[in-house]
Amino acid sequence: MSNAHYAVHGRSAVITLDHPPVNAMGHALRQALAAHLATAWADAAIDAIVINGAGKLFCGGADVKAFGTPASRAEPSSRTIVRQIEDSAKPVIAAIHGSALGLGLEFAMGCHYRIAQRGARLGLPEVKLGLLPGGGGTQRLPRLVGVEAAARLVADGDPVGADEALALGLVDEVAAEGELLPAALAFAQRVATQAVHPVASRRPLPPPGDAGFFAAERQRIGAARRGQPAPLEALACIEAATTMAFDDGLRFERERFDVLQHGSESKALRHLFLAERAAAKLAGIAPDIAPAPIARVGVIGAGTMGGGIAMSFASAGMAVTLVEAKAEALERGLQTIRRNYEGTVAKGRLARAEAEARIARITPTLDFGALKDADLVIEAVFEDMDVKKDLFGRLDAICKPGAVLATNTSRLDIDEIARATQRPGAVIGLHFFSPANVMRLVEVVRGAATSAPTIVTSMAVVRAAGKLPVLVGVCDGFVGNRMVAQYAREAEFLLEEGATPQQVDGALKRFGLAMGRFAMSDLAGLDISWASRKRQAATRAANRRYSKVADRLCELGRFGQKTGAGFYRYEAGSRTPLPDPLVDEIIVQCAREAGIERRSIGDDEIVERTIYALVNEGAKILEEGIAQRASDIDLIYVNGYGFPAWRGGPMFHADTVGLDKVYARVCEFERRHGDFWKPAPLLERLAREGKSFAKPE
Ligand code: NAD
């Protein structure tokens, strides 16, 4: 059978799970596994069974795509298989390499013994998908590792390494790298002669040492995971394990799992999980194009972005050449890099030696010639077309053939930059987000001439730096900033129509955004967008509505937090936005000048006006082929703009509301507020056909 193989080694049977990419425990794999187990049990020449995984890991978990479908529970279920293993007189040993996650680990806990190869990771990350381990994990784990450790593992969802798993009692032995199968076979023969084998579900479970343990944990988790039901439900299952018989505990776990599975949080988080996988698929690019190896990355500009980008690659083990135009700027950039790493060391999240190794990977220089060895160069200099074109002309002369030449521009035309070189196929946008050493998202912007190998290599190197690359096309602002401009415009119009900054921000935060629109502007600084508005003033249509509030604030020198005032005011040394009556006066004044009668505006309108502005623009972006799929837009918004993951991103949110309802509101806004709200034809079509962004055809 293709999903699992069977082999005999002496008196042991070895069953190998083999269902790429992650040996997910889908129905076909379970059928194959059950059949091979039956073969081993029936064969008198076999007295022990080892189960391992093919490829990079033991088992990555359940088949997420099958969640909620009949196939997910079709017999043989993993529960049935585990029951058979528990009753088996022949020992069953899980031999774990790579990782055993979710149902993969739950299954392993149902085996009599577990051996992990050094480097393996074991965990129950279900809470990260808004779920809890529903395959007996919450009942077996505490019986193996104790209540305290189990509560942490299921409620936080973070995996542990092989050695920690051994110390916890989760595995019985750790094998050296490359020694897993021989070690498992030797172990199997050692225990084969034992009359009985340990069964996790039959172990007694002592209550926690501290009687107040569960109450304290509930408080800790409630504070850390505000609004998320899954971690608390997972904890409740661990608590149930201490008070209920095993089978009752299993029933309780299944009940809580079902509630979460049908909840909107889990659906949104699973959507994002699958979206990350889908984002790696590149339409129109042959799958056999291999990424070029990247050993040295050149970064130009040691400012806000360049420093963070250099750190990202150095932290991932790549050599970085950091080039600046001026010695002072280079020194300042290096100081910031050192300070950032030292901050992480001080927090205990990075060993000092590792921080030093990372810093040592960055070679600072004022000599552009040093870029001749770079496999990838990323430019992060001033946002000025002439400066960038001049730079790319120079890079063209310096860089080796085959090198990828990338720009971190936020909105300049990448095709124009590419034309400054003789190799436009090698030019691409790598749009990192600030702070670049922290933010996961990178928009990989393909120009008209960007070659397939350049795209494939860029996606791979961004992933190698531990980040999330999403492929987009060229347009003003690419995907994220183009959409956010619509959202920002509506937020400002709402001020003139009657809202205050704190009211708009409050409604958006209650919706779930990490930060409101105006607090965000104050943090980012109002001056940069003011400068670009002044540049665009000459081309702006005179009869088009334009909110002057932000301009007025800038004219007063209110550039946001850095000047102590913007849409809010700030006390010295504080980042807390405080309402400012002066801002309210400016808003009222601007509204009066524009002939707008102010009215009272509720949370619902604030959310619909801003979020549907994102959705309508997202639909246009999809139609134009700037984004490959709606779920890519969701990834961009959740990972780059603080959109709540539990709502799945703006496009998923619109699907959840129903596109007919969203379309009706967009039409209503068009009637009331004019052609800013012209509905995207795609939105109109999907609404009329009763379809969704997720399934547009
Ligand atoms: P910054 O002003 O902090 O840094 C720019 C650095 O480039 C300065 O240190 C400057 O000395 C150096 N520099 C200028 N011209 C140079 C040249 N010819 N050769 C070498 N070095 C040169 O700017 P930033 O905020 O880091 O932005 C850099 C780029 O990243 C811009 O294109 C910007 O649009 C883009 N970007 C910025 C953000 C952000 O949030 N700041 C986010 C995404 C993208």
CA of 398 to the centre of ligand 1 (A): 21
Active site residue 608: no
- Alpha helix locations (H) across 438-593? 452-464, 480-497, 501-511, 517-524, 527-536, 549-555, 581-593
Ligand 1 neighbour 457 (Cβ under 6 A): no
Locus of tokens 């007996």: 136
> Residue 411 CA: which ligand 1 atom is closest?
34
pLDDT at 94: 98
pLDDT tens figures, 326-348: 999 999 999 999 999 999 999 99
Take residue 543 and report the two structure tokens written for it.
């009869």
Pairing state between β 4-9 and 12-17: antiparallel
CA of 641 to the centre of ligand 1 (A): 20
Give the model confidence (pLDDT) of 500-553 as tens digits: 999 999 999 999 998 999 999 999 999 988 988 998 888 888 889 999 999 999
Ligand 1: centre distance to CA 570 (Å): 27
Report how far ligand 1's centroid is from the alpha carbon of 307 (Å): 9
pLDDT at 223 over 90: no
Q: Is the CB of 304 under 6 A from ligand 1?
A: yes
Give me the phi and psi of 262, to 5 degrees please: -90, 0
Highest mean pLDDT among 71-80, 507-516, 632-641: 632-641
- Other C-beta atoms within 10 Å of 625: how many? 10
From the list 523, 112, 662, the residue with the least C-alpha distance to 670 is: 662
Q: With a 6 A CB cut-off, is 315 part of the ligand 1 pocket?
A: no
Structure confidence at residue 420 as a pLDDT band (50, 70, 90): very high
List 75, 106, 492, 496, catalytic entry: 106
pLDDT digits (tens, 9 = 90+) for 344-395: 999 999 999 999 999 999 999 999 999 999 999 999 999 999 999 999 999 9
Q: Of ligand 1's atoms, which has the minimum distance to the CA of residue 388?
A: 18
Mean of the pLDDT values across residues 483-502? 97
Two structure tokens written together for 38: 């039956």
Alpha-carbon gap, residue 550 to 478, rounded angstroms: 23
Ligand 1 within 6 A of 308 CB?
no
Query: Quick one: pLDDT at residue 65?
Result: 82
Atom of ligand 1 nearest to the CA of 326: 11
**Which burial class, exposed, middle or buried, applies to 286 when counting CB atoms under 10 A from its CB (0-12, 13-18, 19+)?**
exposed
Instruction: Specify the pTM.
Output: 0.88
What is the per-residue pLDDT for 207? 86
Residue 300 CA, ligand 1 centroid: distance in Å: 8
Number of CB atoms found within 10 A of residue 190's CB: 12
What's the pLDDT score for residue 353?
96
584: closest CA among 498, 514, 520, 654? 498
Q: Which residue among 332, 378, 381 has the greatest number of ligand 1 atoms within 8 angstroms of its CB, and so is best to mutate? A: 381
Average pLDDT of the chain?
A: 96
Q: Which atom of ligand 1 is nearest to the CA of 306?
A: 26
409 lines ligand 1 (CB under 6 A): yes
Contact present, 441 and 466 (Cβ < 8 Å): no
Q: Which of 299, 300, 304, 336 to mutate to test the pocket of ligand 1 (most atoms within 8 A of CB)?
A: 304
Cis peptide before 577 (omega within 30 of 0): no
Alpha-carbon distance 342 to 359, whole Å?
A: 10
What letter would DSSP give residue 125? Answer: G
* 416: annotated active-site residue: no
Strand order in the sheet with 173-175: 4-9, 12-17, 48-53, 92-96, 113-117, 173-175
| Residue 226 pLDDT | 66
Q: Report pLDDT for 227.
A: 66
For ligand 1, say whether the CB of 586 is within 6 Å of any of its atoms: no
Q: Would you place residue 66 in the very low, low, confident or very high pLDDT band (cuts 50, 70, 90)? A: confident
What separation in Å is there between the alpha carbon of 472 and the centre of ligand 1? Answer: 21
**Distances, alpha carbon 413 to alpha carbons 533, 535, 584, 626, in Å:** 18, 16, 37, 14
Average pLDDT over residues 107-115: 98
- As to burial, measured by CB atoms within 10 angstroms (0-12 exposed, 13-18 middle, 19+ buried), residue 398 is middle
Report whether pLDDT(111) > 80: yes
Q: Is 408 touching ligand 1 by the criterion CB < 6 Å?
A: yes
CA angle 282, 283, 289 (to 5 degrees): 55
**Confidence category of residue 225, pLDDT binned at 50, 70, 90:** confident
Statement: residue 59 has pLDDT above 70: yes
**Residue pointed to by tokens 């095709």:** 415
Planar angle of CA 689, 694, 695, nearest 5 degrees: 45
Which residue has the least CA distance to atom 36 on ligand 1? 410
Q: How many CB atoms lie within 10 A of CB 348?
A: 7
Q: Where are the beta strands (DSSP E) in 31-183?
A: 48-53, 92-96, 99-101, 113-117, 121-123, 160-161, 173-175
324 Cβ inside 6 Å of ligand 1: yes
Predicted confidence (pLDDT) at residue 1 exceeds the cutoff of 60: no
Domains of the chain: 4-261 (3.90.226.10), 296-472 (3.40.50.720), 480-689 (1.10.1040.50)
**Å from CA of 572 to ligand 1 middle:** 28
pLDDT of residue 528: 85
pLDDT digits (tens, 9 = 90+) for 90-106: 999 999 999 999 999 99
